[in-house]
Structure 1
Amino acid sequence: MTRNYLASPIWKRPLRCAKSSPIRSLFSARQLRRRDQSSLSADLFRRSPVSKKRERSTTHMPVSNEDAEYTRDQLVRFRKIIDRIRAEVPGGYKAHVLQSAGTLAFNPSMFDIVRAGIILYGISPLPEFQKLLKPVMTWKTRISLVRDMPKGSSISYGRTFVTPQKMRIATLSAGYADGYPWYLSNRGAAVLVRGQRCALVGRVTMDLMMIDVSKVNNLQIGDEVVLMGRDGSQEVCCAELAEKAGTIAWEIVTRIGARVRRVYV
């Protein structure tokens, strides 16, 4: 007969389970709103015979980039719990709660560890702190086709863009299968070609997208195009793409597909 470890509380499992893996405690925002935090921390350790094995506790900040007052209150309550736990547990008990937004907006030294996420890309979840960071990721593709299109030509699926005059259109080897948002179709998105901003025209397709390169001189098939990043004095930042696509910066950077080659420098 085997024991169902998923169904049994941690404090009811054999002690050998806890010996091989130190216990981490996660406090929910709902728990932190309880008036008596001292009873919460006391209950936690009274119920567990392996309390001395606990090494760290954490919670999650749901609105750290939206509601500073709520977040500040959450941090105060969490700190009270941690102080109570440290008074009962010998040794160096660790606590962590601040993620990217919290690390920028609040004092990182309040706790022992920070959980840096999107700021590792040099992208700030709070616009007012972006000047302190430098984006480290550039997303590039190449031109696969260039054609001069007469006035009245429809571009891409659905004929959602019709050239208002003669235009030079370049096809890029990237699409929504690579993670470039389909929602950027006909929303004023731009890419960088030889340091110039070029408008995305028509719908983004699975593997291709089209841009207006009428003002770019000496363009050649195979030229690099920056989808996100800097080229000369121009930049297409992650926040710009996210805003135009109606999404968040986290989705932009995490949806870049596996077939996009990574180069680490």
Structure 2
Amino acid sequence: MQKTRETVLEIDLGALAHNYRYLREKAGKGVKFLGVVKAFAYGNDEVVIAKKLSALGVDYFGVAYTSEGVSLRKAGIEKPVLILHPQSFNFEEIIENCLEPSIYSEFVLKEFIKTAERLGQKDYPVHIKLNTGLNRLGFSEPEISKVLEHLSNTTAIRIKGLYSHLAASEDWKEREFTLGQINRFRKMAFEIVNAIGYHPLLHITNTSGIVNYPEAAFDMVRAGLGLYGFGNDPEIDKHLKPIGTLKTIVSQIMKLQPGDTVGYNRAYKAQEEITIATLPLGYADGISRQLGNERSGVYINGYFAPLIGNVCMDMIMVNISGIACEEGDEVIVFGKEQPVTEFAKQAGTISYELIAGISQRVKRVYLPE
């Protein structure tokens, strides 16, 4: 494999395919599969990822905001797209682009019906979000009657899906709570199903839920982080392959003498003669300032080089004393040598935040399946 000559996020589409097939098998036959590609496909590339998943046979896509769904449509993605957190300002744009909104409150329901009626829609597909315990968005059980009342007074919309979201499906200590969510969802969903007289898509499981609660697959499952190689559980992680490797290069090498300092605020002081390297990426690329001052490091020619000094906007410095390397050599920030889960732990965060935070100015390169 050719070594990089600049900062890149290398995306392995073969690993993506592996993860999809593993989760699809766990979901079971006859169950639809929704791939979550919000936030630039968790910091990768939503268009490339969505096109690959479409080719692999994914049934649905999920994004957070309307603009993300519009981006998929402009890229030629024709599969159904669920907008998980739409705002009323975007309802007309949702309809114009044949996107499917999540309806999570009475205000949103009334406003979407109003927009759909004004635009002459009939049976426009929507997904009703039910709050079963995560307590972010969604209708509570006592509000179901209001949902049914509004639905009975219009032909502009039709329920395409009923769904909820598990709060702790990866945590076995919260199994009782998770089972309670699943049972609450089943009860609420079938109250609506019985009232409307038809069966929409029911979906509640995320990546951990797909693996840990197969009985809750219902009609469709939703996978986000698992597609990108992480399952929030070592037992799940060992079956998945992280798709991203963040690479950069050595820009400059210099010697420091005892007492010399490094970077802004002189945050690091050499206690002995050392050799350091400057690398061309920083917090503007998603490398948190929390990772500086020897809290983390990178790999150069197979050896660990700790970050020293404060992380700068466009640069980090590392101690390469004892490491044989030259200017222009490849550096692995995270990948096989250093899993992103470990790198995230060093920053006091989770893999979600770290990979989603990789700047769009970092060039993406793709390894084919």
TM range (shorter): 0.7 to 0.9
What letter corresponds to residue 82 of structure 1 in structure 2? A
Q: Which of 197, 205, 217 does residue 304 from structure 2 map onto?
A: 197
Q: Report deviation, 1:150.
A: 1.9
Structure 2 CA distance for aligned equivalents of residues 73 and 237 of structure 1: 34
Matching residue of 2:7: none
Structure 2 CA distance for aligned equivalents of residues 7 and 45 of structure 1: 14
| 1:79 alignment partner, SS class | helix
Matching residue of 2:110: 9
Matching residue of 2:97: none
Tell me, yes or no, if the aligned pair for 2:132 and 2:184 is still in contact at 8 Å.
no
Tell me, yes or no, if the aligned pair for 1:190 and 1:236 is still in contact at 8 Å.
no
Structure 1 CA distance for aligned equivalents of residues 304 and 108 of structure 2: 57
Q: Report deviation, 1:15.
A: 8.3
Structure 1 CA distance for aligned equivalents of residues 108 and 159 of structure 2: 21
Q: Report deviation, 1:94.
A: 0.4
Structure 2 CA distance for aligned equivalents of residues 89 and 128 of structure 1: 41
| 1:56 alignment partner, SS class | strand
Matching residue of 2:132: 29
Matching residue of 2:331: 225
Q: Report deviation, 1:143.
A: 0.7
Q: Deviations over 1:135-194 (max 9, x none)?
A: 111001111000122222211112222222211101100100111111111243011111
What letter corresponds to residue 140 of structure 1 in structure 2? K
Tell me: higher relative CO, structure 1 or 2? Use CA pairs within 8 A at least 6 residues apart.
2
| 1:9 alignment partner, SS class | helix
1:178 aligns with 2:281: no
Structure 2 CA distance for aligned equivalents of residues 110 and 180 of structure 1: 36
Matching residue of 2:59: none
Matching residue of 2:217: 110
Matching residue of 1:143: 250
Matching residue of 2:176: 69
1:88–1:184 CA distance, 2 compared to 1 (3 A): same
Unmatched 5+ stretches in structure 1: none
Q: Answer 1 or 2: which has greater helix percent.
A: 2
Q: Report deviation, 1:259.
A: 0.7
Q: Which of 50, 59, 62 does residue 164 from structure 2 map onto?
A: 59
Structure 2 CA distance for aligned equivalents of residues 123 and 31 of structure 1: 21
1:30–1:63 CA distance, 2 compared to 1 (3 A): closer
Matching residue of 2:32: none
Tell me, yes or no, if the aligned pair for 2:268 and 2:309 is still in contact at 8 Å.
yes
Q: Report deviation, 1:42.
A: 5.7
1:254 aligns with 2:365: no
Tell me, yes or no, if the aligned pair for 2:134 and 2:166 is still in contact at 8 Å.
no
Unmatched 5+ stretches in structure 2: 1-88, 92-106
Residues 56-65 or 196-205, more deviating: 56-65
* RMSD (Å) for aligned C-alpha atoms: 2.9
Matching residue of 1:245: 347
